[in-house]
């Protein structure tokens, strides 16, 4: 028998967070209606609030980040045309081929470089309309970059991508699942990010600690069409204000505190650095571990850590990942660092 989950320090992902007591109270008190009929006032308030944060006209509340991304891609990329993105992007790595399966979207990728992408490489990939090629219709980037170790794409890079998109007459989408972390890390206003993209998806259930939910952000026309796509994909919810209330609470109380998660991640990174397992500079709440030169592989590290009460993610044979979040205290961070360094020192 292993330890109960409640006794484990869970660093697998920031998706494991649980609603705080205050968030649960906000959910219990939520005013609700039937959102498929457009009658849930709390959902409407959340959508208006998020749209305003990013300087867009409208937003659409969805059950998951994958659905939000796929709705955005279907809005931007007609069937039989192509999306350009990173080979490690969430939209082509973790969304079960949905762009092709549901949207008829083809994709072409640049090499996985995380947040350090080269706009010139992207510019060289954009295909114009022609009767003998698949034309490019959108470029997608991820902020922060999950498999890129929580890296933050610099604002100047995003501005250059906007210029490239405009020159090529293609759209620009942001998978902003952790854009809140980028905002806190670099101090870039959310509206500044919003002005660069035609559509964004933003997640409430990772670092912000809500139990469920992401939003698509864009123009009023696109979001109206997105409602139809959401319903087609089974994402129409009824009294969803209970969930939206959690999101509103998270936006009001859990954005600025992300800096504490970043500080915890930096402490973990500092602890494991002497063992040569830090893959990249840690900017936000994700600590990637490259175990190429370590005496054990990722699965062995995960098993040894779990035996001592710490959960880590295995991303590949020699790649592991730690993610800090609001359910991990400072004391637990230090305890996890001690466990990991003890294992790596063996």
Instruction: Evaluate whether 318 touches 290 at the Cβ level (below 8 Å).
Output: yes
Q: pLDDT for 309-331, tens place per residue?
A: 999 999 999 999 999 999 999 99
**Considering the chain, what is the average pLDDT of its residues?**
95
Question: What distance in Å separates the CA atoms of residue 107 and residue 82, rounded to the nearest whole number?
Answer: 5
Low-confidence ranges of the chain (pLDDT < 70): 1-6, 276-280
The architecture in CATH of the region 31-253 reads 3-Layer(aba) Sandwich (3.40)
Could you tell me the pTM of the whole model? Answer: 0.95
Residue extents of the structural domains in the chain:
5-16+257-344, 31-253
The CATH code of the domain at 5-16+257-344 is: 3.90.1150.10
Which is nearest to 201 in space by CA: 224, 234, 179, 221?
Answer: 179
Cα–Cα distance measured from residue 189 to residue 245, given in angstroms and rounded to the nearest whole number = 23
Q: What is the pLDDT of residues 145-201, one digit of tens each?
A: 999 999 999 999 999 999 999 999 999 999 999 999 999 999 999 999 999 999 999
In the numeric block, the tokens 């968030």 are attached to 23
**Residue 56 to residue 195: CA distance in whole angstroms:** 8
Is the CB of residue 213 less than 8 Å from the CB of residue 204?
Answer: yes
């Amino acid at each position: 028998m292993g330890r109960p989950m409640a006794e484990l320090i869970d660093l697998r992902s920031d998706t494991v967070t649980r609603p705080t007591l205050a968030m649960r109270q906000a959910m219990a008190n939520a005013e609700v209606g039937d959102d498929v009929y457009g009658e849930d006032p709390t959902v409407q308030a959340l959508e208006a609030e998020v749209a305003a944060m990013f300087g867009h006209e409208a937003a659409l509340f969805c059950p998951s980040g994958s659905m939000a991304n796929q709705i955005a891609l279907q809005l931007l990329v007609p069937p039989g045309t192509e999306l350009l993105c990173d080979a490690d992007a969430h939209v082509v790595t973790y969304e079960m081929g949905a762009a092709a399966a549901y949207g008829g979207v083809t994709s072409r990728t640049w090499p996985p470089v995380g947040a350090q992408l080269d706009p010139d490489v992207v510019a060289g990939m954009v295909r114009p309309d022609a009767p003998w090629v698949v034309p490019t219709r959108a470029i997608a980037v991820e902020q922060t970059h999950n498999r890129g170790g929580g890296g933050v794409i610099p604002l100047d890079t995003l501005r250059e991508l906007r210029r490239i998109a405009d020159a090529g007459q293609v759209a620009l989408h942001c998978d902003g699942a952790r854009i809140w972390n980028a905002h806190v890390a670099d101090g870039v206003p959310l509206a500044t990010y919003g002005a660069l993209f035609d559509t964004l998806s933003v997640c409430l259930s990772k670092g912000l600690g809500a139990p469920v939910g992401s939003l698509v952000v864009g123009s009023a026309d696109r979001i109206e069409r997105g409602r139809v796509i959401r319903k087609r994909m089974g994402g129409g919810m009824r009294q969803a204000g209970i969930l939206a209330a959690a999101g509103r609470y998270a936006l009001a109380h859990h954005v600025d505190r992300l800096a504490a998660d970043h500080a915890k991640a930096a402490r973990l990174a500092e602890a494991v650095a002497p063992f040569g397992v830090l893959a990249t500079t840690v900017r936000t709440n994700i600590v990637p571990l490259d175990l190429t030169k370590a005496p054990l592989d990722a699965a062995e590290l995960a098993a040894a850590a779990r035996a001592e009460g710490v959960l880590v993610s295995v991303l590949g044979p020699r790649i592991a990942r730690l993610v800090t979040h609001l359910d991990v205290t400072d004391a637990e961070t230090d305890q996890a660092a001690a466990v990991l360094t003890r294992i790596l020192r063996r």
